[in-house]
Structure 1
Amino acid sequence: MSFEYYPQSLGDLRGVLAAHGVSEALIKPLSKNHNDKNQVYSGSDFRPLYPLFDLEFRLRGSSSSQKKGARTEGQAIQEAVFKSFSWLRQDGGEVAARGVRMIIYAQYPETRLSGFQTSENTMPAAMSVEFTKKHPEIPRYLVLGRRGGGEALAVMVADPGAAFCDEVSNLPAAPGSRVWKHLRLRQTADVRLQALLAGAVGKLLPGCRLDAMGMTLPFNGTQVCGYTLEHALGINPNSNSHGDFEGIELKTHTQNKVTLFTPEPDMGAYSDDFTHFMTTFGYQDNDGNWRLTGIHRVGVRCPKSGLTLQIMNHERGKSLAASADQDVHLALIDDFGTLAAGWSLERILNCWTAKHNEAVYIPAVKKDCKDPALLGIGYKYDVKFSESIMWCRETSAEQLFEALYNGTLFLDPAPKYCPGRLHLNKRRSQWRVNDIHSAAKEIYNDVRFITLNGG
C-alpha cells in the first residue's frame, strides 16, 4: 500500500492531519539528495524538532567524519530517537517506524534525520534513492505532525499541486529554523481548555483527585492544587512525560517561586554512592538525618553547602548541538574540584521534554477546609485558582541553559539521608525560578497573560 499523498492545496493536508489528531506540523521541502541513504538535513541545532517532539537523547558510537578541521574525529556523537514515530499510509492506516532518529554531527554542526523504515520493512517510495534518480523534477515534502505529548505522525507528500507549493512557501518558519515551515492546526484545544479552566477558577474547591476508576477521593498531600485542578477538568492523574491536556502541560503554583523540573544527577558521588555523598557534603539536623540544601546558581559558591554549580565544557552562546561531543554537563563541585553531583547533557535534555514546549501556569491558593461535613469525610484543604493565568509556548535547550547562566534558573536541592531508616530517604533535585512570570520571558518565545471569566 502506497504512503504517498498528492495534495492539491494546503487545505487538503490540513484535513488529513486533523483527522489523525495532529495539533501542529513541520513541513520541509526535500532536495534530490534527501533520501533513505543520504539522510535528511534538519538544521544546525536541535530545533525545531526538539522539544516539539518526544525524543530520547543518547550516545551513538563514533564519528567517522574526515572533514578538514573537524574536532570530533573518533569521538562519541549523539542522537535523539523519536519515542513514537509512524508513517501515514494513503489509505489512512498508520505504520510504526521504530528507528527514526535525529543524528547530531557536532563538528559541522548539523542535525540529520535517518532510519525511516517501518517495523514492516516498508517505507515511502518517494524517500528512496531510486525514486529521486528516476524523478528528480518531482517536488517532495516531508511532513512531521505532532500529536498527544509529542508523538510524530509523518506524511510523505509527492508531486503536489502548484497551490500547495505556494502556500507552504508562505508559511512562517518553524521556531529557530531556516529549513522547516510551521503549520499550526489546533484551533479548538486552546479554546476548550480555556473554557474548562474558566469553569474551575475563582471559586473554592475541596482538595481532591480522581482515582483510576474516575471516582472522587479526598487528597491532602503537597500536590493537592495540581490534583484538584485535574479533577475539575476531568483529567486522571498522571506522572508521565506527556502534557496534561492534549500535549499542554498544566502547572499550578501557590507562590511565584516555581519548580520547573526535577532531573536527578547521573554523575559524581551522588550517583555513585548516595550515602557517601550525603555524609560528605551534607549536614546533620537535630534528628540525626543528613540533609543538603541551599540555593546553587551557576558560578556562585553556595555558603550553606560549600558547593558551586558549573556548566562544564560549554561555551556560552554556542549551540548545544555544536558542543554535543564535548561532554557538556552541569556539575556541583567542592573547593577542591571534586564532582559531588553531575547532570549529563542527555539527562537534562531527556527531562526538559516535549511536554514543556507548551505550558499553562495557574496561580492557586490553598486553605484549611472549614466545612464540617467535608472534614468528616477526610477533606483537609480547599483550593482556589486565579482567573489570571500565563500561557507559554516554544522553548529550547539553549534558552534553558541561558537561564542557568543568568542565574534565573537555579538548583534548590532537598535530599535527605536517614541512617537506619532508609525507607525515609528522599532524593529531590529541584530546578527552580524565583519569579515564574519574569523567568518565563527568558525560557519561552511566546508568553501570554490571559484573564478567564470564572463562574
Structure 2
Amino acid sequence: MNDNLKCVLSRLRAAGASRVFAKYLRRNNNSRQQIYLARGDWQALHALPLGPIRRCKPAAPPGSSTAHTRDNYKASLDFKWLDVHGNLHHAPEAQLILYPKYPEIRLGSLQARADWAPHDLLSEQSDGRVLLLGIRPDGWIIGVLLARDSLAAMEFAASRQQPEDNGVLVEIPISDALDSREELLRELARIHRLGWIGSKRLNPHGEVVPCKALHCGGYTLEAELGIIPNGRADPDYLGWEIKQLQSRSITRPLSGGAITLMTPNPDGGIYAEVGAQEFLRRYGYPDQRGQPDRINFGGVHRADRWCDNRPKGGHCTTIELYGYDRASDRFKDPVEGQIRLVDAQDNILASWSIEGLLRHWQRKHAKAAYIPSEAAKNPQRYRYGHLVTLAEGTSLSRFFRAIADGRIYYDPAPKLEHASTASPRCKERHQFRTTPADLDALYDATEVIDVLAART
C-alpha cells in the first residue's frame, strides 16, 4: 500500500491522534544506533508525553573506557505501532534516552517485545525515511514509519525546505481545523466577552463547583477552558500552559505581581529525608500574622543572597546552583547538578535534581499563555483581559540562567497547622516564581496579542 500523506494522517486521526509530529531519518537513525531526535537542546520533550524521567548508570562493556558509561536519563513511552490495516501494536519497552553531556535525545527499544513493528525499515541504513508520531489525548504515541520511496515520505520531503534538518520534530497539521494557537485565542476572546464570571472550578469528575478560596482566578479561567486541576507536568490546554495573572488593570498585560512558574517538591536534602512536617519543626518559625499553633517556612530566596528568618525564630538560608558555571552557562556535570537550599553551615536543607526538574519545566512551559484578570467581591467573581501574552520556546538552560541572574526566585510557603496537637495538618508548597518584567528571559519569543483582533 503506497498511500499519500493525507491518507496516512487520516489513519493516525482514526487511531485517536490529535497532533502529529514528523522526523526525517538519516542513515544512522536505525534500530541498532537508535533514532536520533535532537542534539543541543531538549526540544523533543516539548512534544512527546513521557513517563517519569529517571537517571541511569549503564554498565561498562568489557574492555570499554569509562567515557562511554556516563549516566543518562530515560523516560518510558506509551507507544504503539500502527500498521497499514489500522491495527495497533504495543511496543512495551519503548523509551526516550537523554544524554546530558552533549545534550542529545534518542528513541530506543521500539521493537523490543512488540508483537509487530516495521523491522525492515527500522534496520535500514538509508536517508529519506520519515517517522510519524501521532499524539493522543490520553498520552499514547502512535508510530508510523514511512519508506523513503513511499509517496507520503516524498510528499513530506518536498514540503520542507530542509527535510534533513538535524533532529527537529516538525508538527504536521492533522486536519483543516484551527491550529492550537488559533483555537486558544478564539476561546480567550469568548471568555473575555463573558465579562464578570462567578468564582468556580472543576472537580475531579469535571463538574462545575463553587470556588471559595481567596485566589480563584486561575481555577475560574481553567473551568471555562474545561481544564480539570491536576498536578501533572503537562500543558493545560491544546499544548499551552495557561497562566492567569491578577493584574492592576486587564487593559495592561503583564502588569500584575509575582508569577508562579512551578511548584515541585524537593527530591533531596534534609526535607526529603525527614519529611515536610519534621523539616518545618526544625527550620520553620511561628506564624507572624497571629495564626495560633502554626509553623511557617517562607521568604524570597534568590541565588547567592541570604534570606534571614532569624528575627522570626527561623534560620538564614539561600539557594545555590550546585555545579553550575556562570562563565560557560552550563553545569560541569549535568547529572550531578542541583538546585540546593542551604543554611549558613552549608547543610543541604532541600535540593531539586535535574531529572526532577527536566520534564516539569521543559514540557510544561514550551508554550505558555499569560492572561490578565481582575477580581471583585460580593459575590466573588473574575473577568479576563483581551490583551494576552503568548510565550514560546524555552529550555532548562534558560531556567537555570534566570535563577543564577536572580530573575527566578524560590518563594516557599509550606505550613504546619495545629502543630502541637495529635493531628497536625501539613501543606507543602515550593514555588519558583518570577515577575512579569522578567518573562522575556525565559522564552525565545514573547508576543502581546489582542484576542479580539486575532484571526479566529
Distance 1:445 1:67 in 2: 44
The correspondence for 1:117, drawn from 94, 111, 123, is 111
- Contact 1:103-1:114 within 8 A present in 2 as well: yes
* 1:168–1:348 distance in 2 versus 1, CA, 3 Å: same
Which structure ranks higher in relative contact order (CA pairs < 8 Å, sequence separation ≥ 6)? 1
- Percent of pairs with identical residues: 25
The correspondence for 1:283, drawn from 285, 288, 302, is 285
Residue of structure 2 in register with 1:333 after alignment: 342
Residue of structure 2 in register with 1:50 after alignment: 45
Residue of structure 2 in register with 1:266 after alignment: 267
Distance 1:420 1:72 in 2: 54
CA deviations 1:94-126 (Å, max 9, x no partner) are 333232223234455543321102664322123
Q: CA deviation at 1:393?
A: 2.2
The TM-score normalised by the length of structure 1 is: 0.82
2:333 matched to 1:323? yes
My pick for the range that moved more, 400-409 or 10-19, is 10-19
Q: CA deviation at 1:37?
A: 2.4
* 1:113–1:66 distance in 2 versus 1, CA, 3 Å: farther
3-state SS, counterpart of residue 352 of structure 1: helix
Amino acid at match of 2:407: T
3-state SS, counterpart of residue 84 of structure 2: coil
Distance 1:6 1:67 in 2: 46
Unaligned runs of 5+ in 2: 247-255, 310-314
Amino acid at match of 1:25: F
2:144 matched to 1:155? yes
My pick for the range that moved more, 96-105 or 16-25, is 16-25
Residue of structure 2 in register with 1:298 after alignment: 303
* 1:124–1:392 distance in 2 versus 1, CA, 3 Å: same
2:197 matched to 1:205? yes
2:104 matched to 1:103? no
2:19 matched to 1:23? yes
Distance 2:396 2:63 in 1: 27
- Contact 1:172-1:182 within 8 A present in 2 as well: no
* 1:236–1:102 distance in 2 versus 1, CA, 3 Å: closer
* 1:335–1:7 distance in 2 versus 1, CA, 3 Å: farther
Distance 2:101 2:197 in 1: 55
Distance 1:404 1:268 in 2: 19
Residue of structure 2 in register with 1:88 after alignment: 82
> Would you say how many aligned residue pairs link Structure 1 and Structure 2?
424
Distance 1:237 1:423 in 2: 26
2:381 matched to 1:382? yes
2:256 matched to 1:251? no
The correspondence for 2:367, drawn from 333, 344, 358, is 358
2:429 matched to 1:420? no
Residue of structure 2 in register with 1:348 after alignment: 357
Distance 1:445 1:107 in 2: 23
CA deviations 1:325-372 (Å, max 9, x no partner) are 3x1111011112110111111111232252322221111111102xxx
3-state SS, counterpart of residue 448 of structure 2: strand
The correspondence for 1:232, drawn from 224, 231, 236, is 224
- Contact 1:6-1:157 within 8 A present in 2 as well: no
2:191 matched to 1:192? no
3-state SS, counterpart of residue 74 of structure 2: strand
* 1:151–1:352 distance in 2 versus 1, CA, 3 Å: farther
The TM-score normalised by the length of structure 2 is: 0.81
Distance 1:67 1:106 in 2: 24
Distance 1:303 1:127 in 2: 61
Distance 1:149 1:397 in 2: 26
- Contact 1:366-1:381 within 8 A present in 2 as well: yes
Q: CA deviation at 1:417?
A: 2.5
My pick for the range that moved more, 356-365 or 148-157, is 148-157
CA deviations 1:71-98 (Å, max 9, x no partner) are 574x54322333x323222223333323
- Contact 1:43-1:111 within 8 A present in 2 as well: yes
* 1:215–1:340 distance in 2 versus 1, CA, 3 Å: closer
Amino acid at match of 2:301: H
3-state SS, counterpart of residue 323 of structure 1: coil
